[in-house]
Amino acid sequence: MGAPERRQAILTVITLAVMAVFGGRLVYVQAIKGPAIAQVALDDRLTTTTLPADRGEITDANGVALAVSVERYTITADQTLIASWDPTSATTPDQRGPAGAAAALAPLLELDPAELGAKLVGDRRYVILKKDVLPEVRNAVMELAIPGINAERTTERVYPAGAVGGNVIGFVGADGKGQAGIEYSLNSELSGTAGSETYERGMGYVKIPGGYDKTTPAKPGASVQLTILRDLQYKAQTAVDAMVAKTQADGAAAVVYDVTNGDILALVDSGSVNPNDPGATPAALRGSRAVSNAFEPGSTAKVITMSAALEEGIGTPTSQYEIPGQLDLGAAGTVHDAEVHGLERLTMTGILAKSSNIGAVMIGRQLPKQVRYDYLKKFGFGTATGVGLPGETAGILHPADQWDGRTEYNVLFGQGVAVNAVQDTGVFATIGNGGVHVAPHLVKGVTDADGTYHPVVPTETRVISQKTAHEVLTMLESVVDAGTGTAAQISGYLVAGKTGTSQGADKSGGLTNMTASFIGIVPADKPRLAVSVVVFHPRTSEYGGTVAAPVFSEIASYALQELGIAPSGATATPYASEW
């Protein structure tokens, strides 16, 4: 064996070599790789959660809340951590772990203890126990300090007015995104931008006090101010629903249109959806049929025929016509009026007041076909209004060169074309505004999260001259004074308006489904509102003067009072209807 000194020297060298290796490794780990390793460890402890953005409010024109987002919480559980819960107050096994947690949580969450206990047992890291929990309930849950029980902040969309304006406001889905109405069409503006929080967590995914914590705040959505008035919307909805029940109609719509600025003060569909519970309404009825349903306007479109005739100089309000009991159009067939009559001597005003199809054709056939089309187009037929709701129809207006022999005459009394209720009302709004069409809109303005308000500025287009508009308006007074629309009269106010009745195809293709309507302008001496009532397939009567005109009177009367519009300061001075 070698000398002890030699063995000691070898062992010393080996020891020093090992120490050098470990020392070098330690320097490498701590000095060179240390920051990177520490970052990996930190990253492993970091968790990021989404901070939902508060959805913007929707209000009526006066700032009354119609849709708001309220603070709510989702209570979740990490099953792997709950088994360790052992409160100091526990004296028996069933007061610890999942059983004890369920017993403590169930009364607060209003859940069955046995069912809740089953959700707390297992190895799942994320289980939803209850959604839409109130803040005070969340606070009580978190005070229990049960490992693995967490609360995530969310929001719940609430509609304080219920079904009032539901067809306009719309609603959101489970994902918080708009599904109908303004909630859908302005979803990006209302949604805002979600934020995030990244923090350092310890055991039980609990945030480490003083640890890494970086928050990017959520940006709230913009608030939307509508043009509708909640109380007027409620009154109109109530009146329309009552009329539908009384007439056994398939449905109805009503529009209150401020002729001076295009504001839609009420937009009503019968059986409006309640956004708080949209599932209670059939899917097909959750939107606004006032913009999605196209129907033949019938005699309300005679206003366009009269406007075109006056504007083109082929007659005056007192031009005289002999109206036969029927009008033979050769290959195009025969035109009849709603009531059988002998020869009548009517002025242009009388033709409108008595709603004569024969008279409308006698006047309108003096206009070239393209001119007839041009005036329908200028008054908004065939073009969506852009009122602001999804699913709006543009209606039907075929080019003049595609009209068959009958259609070229039918369009003169509102058949062979189709419109939605807002388009139809817009014709009368144009007459009431001196021949200038102001685009209808439901949004008055949008306020950004920073408080900047962006008002909506509608477009304006002159359609006919002020002189023609005034003459037609005066002619329409005769309809209400002594024509087919006497049921639309309002005490103390001059009313100008027109009845409408048309047929629509039923499911078998037959022309049996009637549409009855009345559209009026009030006060006629100083126009402010155009109000329409459209009734789809009423069973008790098919005439607009019978089923729609009384509802017009009810809605318009309330609107005049709501807006503080003074009674008419003049008496009617109608043109002569007969000669």
Catalytically active residues are 299
Q: Which helix (H) or strand (E) holds 132?
A: strand 127-133
CA distances from 118 to 30, 115, 455 (A): 47, 5, 54
Alpha-carbon gap, residue 535 to 504, rounded angstroms: 12
Distances in Å between the alpha carbon of 265 and those of 442, 473, 497? 8, 22, 19
C-alpha to C-alpha distance for 306 and 321, rounded to whole angstroms = 14
Structure tokens given for 418: 């189709």
Amino acid at 382: G
Closest CA to 476 of 319, 299, 259, 262: 299
Listed in sequence order, the residues at least 6 apart from 11 whose beta carbon sits closer than 8 Å to its beta carbon are none
Burial class (CB in 10 A: 0-12, 13-18, 19+), 407: middle
Q: Give a three-class secondary structure readout of 380-415.
A: CCCCCCCCCCCCCCCCECCCHHHCCCCHHHHHHHCC
256, with CB counted inside 10 A (0-12, 13-18, 19+), is buried
Q: How many residues does the chain have?
A: 579
Task: Give dist(CA 399, CA 379) in Å, integer.
Answer: 15
Compute how many other C-beta atoms are within 10 angstroms of the C-beta atom of residue 272. 25
- C-alpha Rg value of the chain to the nearest Å: 36
Give CA angle at 118 (117, 124), nearest 5°: 110
The helix or strand, by DSSP H or E, that contains position 546, with its residue range, turns out to be helix 544-547
CA-to-CA distance for 298 and 145, rounded, in angstroms? 70
C-alpha to C-alpha distance for 174 and 98, rounded to whole angstroms: 29
User: Exposed (0-12), middle (13-18) or buried (19+): which is 484, by Cβ within 10 Å?
Assistant: buried
Is 170:179 a contact under the CB 8 Å cutoff?
yes
| Contact between 151 and 141 (Cβ < 8 Å) | yes
